[in-house]
Structure 1
Amino acid sequence: MQALNDLLLLIDSYIGSHLWFVLLLLGTGIFFTIYLKFPQIRYFKYAIRIVQGKFDKDDDEGDTSHFQALTTALSGTVGTGNIAGVAFAVHLGGPAALFWMLVTAMFGMTTKFVEVTLSHKYREKAADGSIAGGPMYFMQKRLNVKTSSGKTIKTGYWIAAIFALATILSSFGTGSLPQINSISNSLFSTFGIPHMITGLVLAILLGFVIIGGIKRIAKVTSRLVPAMALIYFIGAMAVIIFNYQNIWPSLQAIVGDIFTGSSATGGFLGATIAFAFNRGVNRGLFSNEAGQGSAPIAHAAAKAHEPVSEGLVALLEPFIDTIIICTLTGFVLLSSGVWKDKQDNRFQLADLQVVNTIAVSDQTEEGRQQLAAHINGEAPLPLFDGQLTIKDGKVGSPVIFIHARSLAEEVIVKQGGKLYNGKLQVDNGDVVVKDQKMTLFERIKSQFSHSGNNKIVIEGKSLIHSAPLTAVAFTKSWFGDFGKYIVSIGLLLFAFSTAISWSYYGDRAVTYLWGSKYVIWYHFIYVIGFFIASFVDTTIIWTLSGITIALMTIPNLFGLLVLHKEMKTDVKLFWKEYQERFPEEKGVPKN
């Protein structure tokens, strides 16, 4: 598992985690914001009116209403990014990462407006009568190249095919795998429900929902999204108000660390400016998906007689998803202070290293700098290689454990719930236990037998991240431990609805590439992958997710930039029609 994670990290370092990708993403949003004269501000009130049906016509063609398209797209974006993703960004980059998430969302409002408008314009009717749309359709029709001799080279088809393949991959990397992984981790830590049981039950439910197609998906998500938002909002505000004295220090930390990076505090070993910027933008994209090209697939099914009105509806998504919900989560984490505190937890082996020294401590400035340099790859410490002797759960060798980018404390090794006595194999810093070497069938079998409770686990105190960190933060209010249940229930609704929506995105990509007859096979694989991810290490899932997001985003942004003039023309035509239909309104934008 560690070798696989290392390979994925290497790939991601050249794509999604590289500075050029971050600059491309933000640069596209900034370009369109200036080019279209800040539509996220000037058009905001009109977007709300259109969601309410003000611009509709009785003969508008489509499968869903504006509101259903908005909630379907929101259910695809409001998920683990808002609960686990924000916690992961703050865990990696400190408070400043939240600032960069908000900046990404601000410009992302414009990017989503553009991508949904262009995709809706070129939607088609599939062979089964349903509406099919998305960036692959405008790419195929508008990104072809004409040579000087007048010959057309079908570059648009190949760009569209790359995007569609990336969409299928991202439906697993964004919509299926990290969602169920976060759900199962949260339910296990809160209620003690085995990961595989959670995966099995929800995989069956997922299968029943997605077989019904976009109309059933829209019906389910239009009810889930408002309910889960209300539950989450109440729990988050309880934490923030309970810790009101930390609101101003939290704001100072967010703004103060932008140009300095976050200093080491508690178990947190610090983060550079570049790392906070990169992680904030990266997790911001994972949260609101602006520029990724996913939301246009849902909005393509909306009833509308022209595309810009649906683009305006989509403009609201990053505002709701990131500027409101992610900000709430960020303030919960910072005001409660749990993001820098070590917690009791069971270590994930893909996130664990054994270092061959005991001379380094996080209690001194020198030690914190050494540990930070090791974690960032600047000055690696010597890794342990060989066998550790474990007696009554304690490690006898002179080593330290690094887990979740922090120095682990009070490390205990257990087997079957009892203190372990024996040897623990470590290969170049990576702990190897029998469970890692199991085949998938053996791992499933062990979950439902006595042997599943007999595996070796390592526990102790360290920083935590993702959904478990948010769950701990929610306990720091009047609700106490009940706050964990709010996160678990909220995450269950958030993440499950995201998995539902992304199954639709993937099946539209399959329809584009191979036709609707292959969608049933895609659904089958999607549900199986959903089940398997319920018991795989979170670290690997998040790394895979970053890669698939980048592979989908790059061709989409390229297409948007190429069609910038067409976008501006369509916007002008929309406002002209709007003024003709509602001549009594004053101050309507002209472009």
Structure 2
Amino acid sequence: MEKLTEILNQVDSFVWGPPLLILLVATGMYLTFKLGFIQILKLPLAIKYLFSKEKSNNEAQGDISSFAALCTALAATIGTGNIVGVATAIKVGGPGALFWMWIAAFFGMATKYAEGLLAVKYRTVDNNGEISGGPMYYIENGLGKEYRWLGKMFALFGVGVAFFGIGTFPQVNAITNAANLAFNIPTIVTSIILTILVAAVTLGGIKSISKISEMIVPFMALFYILGCLIIIFMNVHALPQAISFILTSAFSGKAATGGFVGATVMMAIRNGIARGVFSNESGLGSAPIAAAAAKTNSCVRQGLVSMTGTFFDTIIVCTMTGIVLIMTGAWSSEYAGAAMTNYAFSIGMPMFGKWIVTIGLTFFAFTTILGWNYYGERCTEYLVGVKGIKPFKYIYILLVACGAFLKLDMIWVLADIVNGLMAIPNLIALILLSKVISSETKKYFNSLEKNAMKKIAS
């Protein structure tokens, strides 16, 4: 068993090694240049679309609003990675890892735009009358039936991640541990309550999941960001030094305090990019599954809305966590992961800090469970049809119920492997369909310009 775990660890290191990280960033860079830096020039428009209704929305195909689709995607992406992942990246790679998180997110925004665009363009309707979309569909419908095997591969890895990876065990453990440490609630009690809540929401399908996500996601993000801003404001004198420290550490690989002399530039790059991708999921292919369900007539418009997800997740939420860790000096303490973030908030806001992390972590983890239930359901539907949806949901709920009591290291490693493998079929499709992405983008913005000229002329 130990030998097998060792082999899996080696496979995991290879899967999440330089080749995949380079492929993820390179795809984002390629799309950034091909689309003319869309993540900079069109971000204001994307944010405007996020908070405005599309004209002729009543005629648009889809199950939920664009905002609800984004909230569902953010429900799955804003999770423990924003609290635990940032702390881990900075612990191992030094403060400079945060800079490389920004780089990964910047190029990842172009990737997320492309994913959202293709998800809507190639979506379909299942036998239950519900929208189905995502990488498996734009692989098969965009590249052709001969690539169906690649779509099946993505869907299989997607179900694996939902069952054993991001969707269940890490989130359940985060919630039960937080409840036990902060409120002294027994693990079994938290597990029962959590299972009932997950079952009540997920059995209602995408409309139920999106409705809860629309309520919780904006609240939890604002709650956590507000806590971070209060700590930053209370220590505002240290902000310029913290930002300078992040930038210099990104290229020097050295930290101001002991224990990080060996934190090389490569460690900062690898940890920053890996944790950034793990947090915002740009390129992994998960978010477009939710984007496909949006009520919209324009694949480009939904691509722009999807793009804001990476901006909010990494550029805002992860940055807030990272700056608090660095400003308070918690990053160089003996703590790691959630405990490090908890320690930072306790220093920055002694009376209420730990409650912010505990409540934030609980909500982040809960919504991630909901989002990944939908992703896994759509992947299952692609593999075996609508008959597989209910069995999938029952197994998923069962895994949530027992997740807090499973401590198998092998499961965690397997989860990490399938999570990384998900990206490969998706990235291949994005590169091969880049002409379609570029063509749809040009067509849309040319149309906008023509309409604007008509209005001026009239």
- TM-score, normalized by the shorter chain, greater than 0.5: yes
What TM-score range do you get, normalising by the shorter chain?
over 0.9
Corresponding residue for residue 166 of structure 1: 157
Q: In terms of mean alpha carbon deviation, does 1-10 or 274-283 score higher?
A: 1-10
Distance 1:184 1:21, change over 3 A: same
- Check conservation: 2:122, 2:142, Cα contact below 8 A: no
The within-5 A match list for 1:45-444 is 45-53=44-52, 55-57=54-56, 58-144=58-144, 154-172=145-163, 173-263=165-255, 265-266=257-258, 270-342=262-334
Distance 1:532 1:326, change over 3 A: same
Choose which of 330, 343, 351 in structure 2 pairs with 1:472: 343
Q: Which residue identity is paired with 2:38?
A: P
Distance 1:228 1:126, change over 3 A: same
Distance 1:331 1:475, change over 3 A: same
Deviation digits for residues 409-457 of structure 1 (CA, Å, limit 9, x no counterpart): xxxxxxxxxxxxxxxxxxxxxxxxxxxxxxxxxxxxxxxxxxxxxxxxx
- Check conservation: 2:160, 2:415, Cα contact below 8 A: no
- Check conservation: 1:185, 1:468, Cα contact below 8 A: no
Structure 1: distance between partners of 2:151 and 2:27: 19
Corresponding residue for residue 352 of structure 2: 482
Q: In terms of mean alpha carbon deviation, does 32-41 or 242-251 score higher?
A: 242-251
Corresponding residue for residue 44 of structure 1: 43
Distance 1:545 1:239, change over 3 A: farther
Q: In terms of mean alpha carbon deviation, does 215-224 or 196-205 score higher?
A: 196-205
- Check conservation: 1:184, 1:535, Cα contact below 8 A: no
Corresponding residue for residue 33 of structure 2: 34
Higher relative contact order (CA 8 A, sep 6+): 2
Deviation at 1:243, TM superposition (A): 2.9
Distance 1:489 1:27, change over 3 A: same
Tell me the TM-score normalised to structure 2 length. 0.94
Identity %: 41
Structure 1: runs of 5 or more not aligned: 145-153, 343-463, 587-591
SS of residue matched to 1:476: helix
Distance 1:340 1:533, change over 3 A: farther
Deviation digits for residues 258-315 of structure 1 (CA, Å, limit 9, x no counterpart): 2221348345574222122111111101111111111111011111112111101111
Deviation digits for residues 319-377 of structure 1 (CA, Å, limit 9, x no counterpart): 111001100000111111112112xxxxxxxxxxxxxxxxxxxxxxxxxxxxxxxxxxx
Q: In terms of mean alpha carbon deviation, does 189-198 or 82-91 score higher?
A: 189-198
How many residue pairs end up in the alignment?
454
Distance 1:4 1:330, change over 3 A: farther
Structure 1: distance between partners of 2:359 and 2:176: 11
Deviation at 1:537, TM superposition (A): 5.0
Deviation at 1:578, TM superposition (A): 2.6
Give me the CA root mean square deviation. 2.1
Structure 2: distance between partners of 1:278 and 1:78: 21
Deviation at 1:527, TM superposition (A): 1.9
Structure 2: distance between partners of 1:187 and 1:338: 22
Deviation at 1:49, TM superposition (A): 2.6
Deviation digits for residues 128-150 of structure 1 (CA, Å, limit 9, x no counterpart): 01111111011112334xxxxxx
Q: In terms of mean alpha carbon deviation, does 1-10 or 158-167 score higher?
A: 1-10
Q: In terms of mean alpha carbon deviation, does 26-35 or 300-309 score higher?
A: 300-309
Corresponding residue for residue 19 of structure 1: 18
- Check conservation: 1:178, 1:541, Cα contact below 8 A: no
Deviation digits for residues 35-58 of structure 1 (CA, Å, limit 9, x no counterpart): 111000111122123223354313
Structure 2: distance between partners of 1:288 and 1:545: 17
- Check conservation: 2:109, 2:310, Cα contact below 8 A: yes
Q: Hey, which of these two has a bigger chunk of helix by percent?
A: 2
Structure 1: distance between partners of 2:200 and 2:218: 22
Corresponding residue for residue 517 of structure 1: 387
Distance 1:584 1:287, change over 3 A: farther
Deviation at 1:182, TM superposition (A): 1.9
Choose which of 363, 370, 382 in structure 2 pairs with 1:500: 370
Structure 1: distance between partners of 2:453 and 2:61: 25
- Check conservation: 1:91, 1:465, Cα contact below 8 A: yes
SS of residue matched to 1:302: coil
Distance 1:94 1:576, change over 3 A: same
Deviation at 1:165, TM superposition (A): 0.5
Structure 2: distance between partners of 1:265 and 1:538: 35
Deviation at 1:6, TM superposition (A): 3.5
Structure 2: distance between partners of 1:29 and 1:22: 11
Deviation digits for residues 469-517 of structure 1 (CA, Å, limit 9, x no counterpart): 211111112x414211111111111110111011000000000110111
Q: Which residue identity is paired with 2:397?
A: V
Structure 2: distance between partners of 1:545 and 1:101: 22
Structure 2: distance between partners of 1:5 and 1:204: 33
Structure 2: runs of 5 or more not aligned: none
Q: In terms of mean alpha carbon deviation, does 51-60 or 232-241 score higher?
A: 51-60
Deviation at 1:541, TM superposition (A): 6.8
